[in-house]
């Protein structure tokens, strides 16, 4: 009686291709995709290091010679900014999120922010995190909108308070965009709003998802503002973020001998971000250039102002980039993202 030997195709696990004898088994498709995503999270750090070697070298050189205690304070404030961002994310959503994973996702979002401009990388990581926690896509997207609205609104309030309290605002004439430039910018913004309104009116398939998203956003916003803990997390974190970022810049300036007060540095940070946000310009480089200009307008010498901006960029962006990328890879590997 002849025995029938099992073929490789019959003994192979489902979903994997049959393997030749003596060869290691191939990775399943899902594991290959996760491995590629984990490695891809590290590519922005390597690519940015190769592209901006002179900036990185100059910033590191000046930071090595700076006061280490002020730099340590700036590094601590950089970590505190992630805590403030996590508070705003939690405050923008009625659902309770796991604090540890939420904080880790915001640390990873900082690394993803270097891949996509305008905060899209951080929003994409947060959306994926919320979907993994069971939050529906519409409500997760609505929380992103509330987060952005709270951040911009709180930053505007903080800027107005500093302008009212500090006499240094009189020196901000040059960094503020020219009124002739604001007219076309306002026209483009108004045209975009008008086009969106026409599309929603004419294209009926768009009306239903957009109206559903708006209803979900309004319902979540109302529920969030009925809970004192969510209100404190949302608006307290939104107010803290620009103050923490400006204070980190002030710490780097103190380490490098900038010669400006804390209020002047924070006001320069707020004014530079607002001025760049009013015109269509690339984010990072434009903010750095206007920030140097603003610090010089407040009375700093050009050399320490430039060194402060470069050093702050290295401390707040470059230093957290590699651990942030590793955190992003770990969250993807753990299927949190």
Start-to-end C-alpha separation, the chain:
55
Contact at 8 Å (CB) between 266 and 239? Answer: no
pLDDT by residue for the chain (337 residues), tens only, comes to 444 444 444 444 444 445 445 444 545 665 565 555 555 555 555 665 565 566 556 666 777 778 889 989 999 999 999 999 999 999 999 989 999 999 999 988 887 776 666 567 788 889 989 998 888 888 888 899 899 899 989 998 998 888 888 776 555 555 455 555 555 655 666 666 666 666 666 666 666 666 777 787 888 889 999 999 999 999 999 999 999 999 999 999 999 888 888 989 999 999 887 765 544 444 455 677 788 888 888 888 888 888 888 888 888 888 888 888 888 888 888 888 7
Contact at 8 Å (CB) between 34 and 333? Answer: yes
Looking at the domain assignment, is residue 252 inside a domain?
yes
Looking at the domain assignment, is residue 47 inside a domain?
no
Please tell me the pTM assigned to this model.
Answer: 0.74
Looking at the domain assignment, is residue 43 inside a domain?
no
Looking at the domain assignment, is residue 307 inside a domain?
yes
Looking at the domain assignment, is residue 96 inside a domain?
yes
Looking at the domain assignment, is residue 17 inside a domain?
no
> How many domains are there within the chain?
1
Q: What are the CA-CA distances from residue 89 to residues 97, 129, 172, 235, 284 (Å)? A: 9, 11, 32, 10, 23
Looking at the domain assignment, is residue 87 inside a domain?
yes
- The boundaries of the domain holding residue 227 are 54-333
Looking at the domain assignment, is residue 235 inside a domain?
yes
Contact at 8 Å (CB) between 212 and 200? Answer: no
């Amino acid at each position: 009686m002849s025995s029938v030997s099992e073929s490789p195709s019959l003994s192979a696990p489902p979903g994997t291709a049959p393997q030749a004898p003596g060869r290691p088994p191939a990775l399943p498709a899902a594991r290959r995709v996760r491995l590629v995503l984990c490695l891809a999270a590290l590519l922005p750090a390597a690519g940015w290091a190769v592209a901006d070697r002179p900036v990185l070298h100059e910033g590191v050189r000046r930071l090595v010679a700076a006061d280490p205690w002020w730099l340590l304070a700036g590094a601590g404030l950089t970590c505190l900014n992630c805590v403030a961002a996590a508070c705003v994310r939690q405050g923008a959503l009625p659902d309770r999120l796991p604090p540890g994973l939420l904080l880790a996702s915001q640390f990873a979002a900082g690394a993803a922010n270097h891949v996509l401009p305008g905060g899209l990388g951080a929003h994409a990581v947060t959306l994926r995190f919320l979907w993994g926690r069971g939050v529906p896509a519409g409500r997760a997207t609505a929380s992103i909108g509330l987060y952005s609205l709270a951040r911009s609104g709180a930053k505007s309030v903080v800027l107005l308070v500093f302008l009212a309290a500090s006499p240094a605002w009189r020196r901000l004439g040059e960094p503020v965009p020219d009124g002739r430039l604001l007219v076309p910018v306002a026209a483009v913004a108004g045209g975009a709003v008008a086009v969106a309104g026409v599309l929603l009116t004419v294209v009926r398939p768009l009306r239903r998802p957009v109206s559903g998203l708006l209803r979900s956003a309004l319902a979540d916003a109302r529920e969030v503002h009925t809970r004192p803990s969510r209100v404190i997390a949302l608006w307290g974190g939104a107010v803290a973020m620009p103050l923490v970022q400006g204070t980190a810049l002030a710490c780097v300036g103190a380490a490098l001998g900038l010669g400006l007060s804390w209020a002047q540095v924070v006001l320069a940070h707020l004014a530079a971000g607002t001025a760049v946000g009013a015109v269509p310009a690339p984010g990072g480089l434009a903010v750095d250039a206007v920030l140097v200009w603003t610090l010089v307008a407040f009375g700093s010498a050009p050399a320490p102002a430039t060194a402060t901006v470069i050093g702050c960029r290295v401390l707040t962006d470059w230093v957290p980039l590699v651990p942030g990328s590793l955190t992003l890879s770990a969250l993807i590997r753990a299927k949190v993202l």
